[in-house]
Amino acid sequence: MTGRWWDGGAVLGPRTFAVTRADLVAYAHASGDQNPIHQDEQVALAVGLPGVIAHGMLTLGLVARAVEEWTDATPVLELGAKFTQPVVVPAEGAAEVAVTGTVKAVAEGRLTLALEVTCGGHKVLGMPKAVLDLPAASDSSGAARG
């Protein structure tokens, strides 16, 4: 790999995560979000969902994890997304969530990372974006500035 991760246009990932029903239970306990639509198929179907779905914040948490890995835990200034499509998690097996990042704007000490987050080839997040503290990134790498 040439270049640095924070160079404009750099593509990061994809980082993939397998999400199982057991992962949803673990996230429910860790986050406090015990909404039954993330654990109980009958409740999910009763409110019109296609099945048990992952917490949107679990998906965004996986995005944050991917960003942390790519950027050597550079401090995050902003993070967010719209939850546009559900991540349906089957009773057996796993849903696979894939996260890819592209370094967009780099200005005034802030680096904007545009993200793409898919499950089964379909985008599940709308406009997912992270803004990172660029000076912290370039300092922590120890690399000389060009």
Partner 1 sequence: MPVDPSLVGREFPPSEPFVVTREAVEAFALATGAPGGGEAGTESTRVPATFPIVIAFGAMQAFLDDVGVDLARIVHGEQRFAYERPLAVDDELTATLTVSSLRQIGGNDIIGTVSAITDASGALVCSTSATLVHRGGGS
Residues that bind partner 1 (CB under 8 A): 17, 23, 26-27, 29-37, 43, 47-49, 55-58, 60-62, 64-68, 73, 75-83, 126, 130
Shortest spacing between CB 4 and partner 1, in angstroms? 21
State which residue, 10 or 49, has the beta carbon closest to partner 1.
Answer: 49
Shortest spacing between CB 55 and partner 1, in angstroms? 7
Which residues lie below 8 Å from residue 3, measured CB to CB, with a gap of 6+?
10
State which residue, 3 or 84, has the beta carbon closest to partner 1.
Answer: 84
Shortest spacing between CB 64 and partner 1, in angstroms? 4
State which residue, 11 or 73, has the beta carbon closest to partner 1.
Answer: 73
The C-alpha angle 10, 103, 114, rounded to 5 degrees, equals 130
Shortest spacing between CB 144 and partner 1, in angstroms? 26
Q: Do the Cβ atoms of 6 and 102 come closer than 8 Å? A: no
d(CA 56, CA 58): 5
Which residues lie below 8 Å from residue 6, measured CB to CB, with a gap of 6+?
71, 103, 106, 111, 132, 134, 137, 138
d(CA 126, CA 29): 26
State which residue, 86 or 106, has the beta carbon closest to partner 1.
Answer: 86
